[in-house]
């Protein structure tokens, strides 16, 4: 990775969703706060409301309206995110991580961040017994070179996408967002199947899974603890109340 670790990374645990749209918007607000120096390097962790975050290309497809309606019928809020990629789904059984830092030339290290944080999060999953690795798997939803996937211990041919990552870079800072699917993968598989069909996009529904599909018994608190412990090996952490950035 080209960036040096921050001296201290402040962790904000958001205990409740702010609502699908507000959760997405607030990550951008944190990027603005770190860019202006209102806050330092920070990590926000939360469990989101059921959401399907479409990419800009999705929103321009003829089937987008039908895809959005399919999401609503299945209890997911359709939104269009500013980052790239294709549609990704998440709900209360997932953990979202927003990492923001100031940087004079944020674009220079963009690819290195994808590789570094992909491996850091894969390490967090391995620490709790998941056979996780970085890399796109054939047919995955919202495909990406630095997705994190896992495989079943009893069937190495069964691979599922567990973490999707996205990055937003502006003059003076960057936001690196990760979504870990931990529990209850069925609704995510259903809404992605309906959405991708409406958009006319091919994918393999077998690639949509959750951490506890591979290692039964793991839940969001266990994965959050694993992420925090792994980050603690990367830099010094300090915790602050979420209300200090969102009164």
Predicted local distance difference test score (pLDDT) of residue 109: 87
Predicted local distance difference test score (pLDDT) of residue 82: 78
Among 233, 227, 133, residue whose Cα is nearest residue 180: 227
Among 55, 131, 46, 54, residue whose Cα is nearest residue 93: 46
Among all chains, which residue has been given the structure tokens 């798997």?
Answer: 137
pLDDT tens-digit readout, 76-91: 999 999 777 899 999 9
For the chain, where are the alpha helices, taking DSSP H only?
Answer: 20-36, 56-59, 64-73, 110-126, 185-199, 211-214, 220-232
Number of H helices, E strands in the chain: 7, 11
Say how many Å lie between the first and final Cα of the chain, rounded: 34
Predicted local distance difference test score (pLDDT) of residue 23: 96
CA distance 244 to 247: 6
Cβ neighbourhood burial of 182 (10 Å; 0-12, 13-18, 19+):
buried
Predicted local distance difference test score (pLDDT) of residue 1: 52
Among 1, 241, 244, residue whose Cα is nearest residue 120: 1
In sequence order, what are the residues at sequence separation of 6 or more whose Cβ sits closer than 8 angstroms to the Cβ of residue 29? none
pLDDT tens-digit readout, 135-173: 999 999 999 999 999 998 888 788 999 999 999 999 999
**36 CA to centre of own chain:** 24
pTM for the complete prediction? 0.96
Predicted local distance difference test score (pLDDT) of residue 2: 58
The list of the chain residues with pLDDT below 70 reads 1-2
For residues 160 and 192, the answer to whether their CB atoms sit within 8 Å is no
* Count of beta carbons in the 10 Å neighbourhood of residue 104: 8
| Whole-number Cα distances in Å, 242 to 10, 13, 128, 223, 228 | 10, 6, 27, 19, 16
Query: In this structure, what token pair is assigned to residue 97?
Result: 């991580």
Domains of the chain (ranges, CATH numbers): 8-244 (3.30.930.10)
């Amino acid at each position: 990775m080209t960036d040096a670790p921050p001296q201290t990374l402040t962790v904000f645990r958001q205990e409740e969703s702010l609502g699908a749209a507000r959760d997405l918007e607030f990550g951008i607000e944190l990027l603005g706060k770190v860019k202006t120096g209102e806050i330092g390097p920070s990590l926000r962790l939360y469990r989101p409301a059921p959401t399907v975050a479409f990419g800009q290309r999705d929103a321009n497809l003829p089937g987008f309206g039908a895809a959005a309606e399919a999401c609503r019928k299945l209890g997911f809020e359709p939104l269009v995110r500013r980052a790239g990629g294709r549609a990704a789904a998440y709900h209360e059984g997932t953990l979202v991580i927003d990492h923001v830092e100031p940087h004079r030339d944020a674009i220079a290290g963009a690819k290195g961040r994808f590789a570094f944080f992909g491996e850091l999060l894969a390490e967090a999953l391995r620490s709790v017994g998941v056979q996780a690795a970085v890399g796109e798997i054939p047919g995955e939803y919202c495909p990406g070179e630095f997705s994190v996937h896992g495989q079943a211990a009893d069937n190495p041919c069964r691979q599922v996408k567990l973490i999707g990552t996205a990055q937003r870079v502006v003059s003076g800072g960057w936001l690196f967002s990760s979504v870990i699917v931990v529990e209850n993968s069925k609704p995510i598989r259903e809404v992605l199947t309906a959405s991708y069909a409406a958009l006319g996009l091919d994918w393999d529904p077998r690639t949509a899974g959750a951490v506890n599909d591979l290692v039964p018994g793991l839940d969001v608190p266990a994965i959050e603890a694993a992420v925090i412990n792994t980050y603690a090996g990367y830099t010094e952490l300090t915790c602050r109340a979420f209300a200090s950035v969102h009164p």
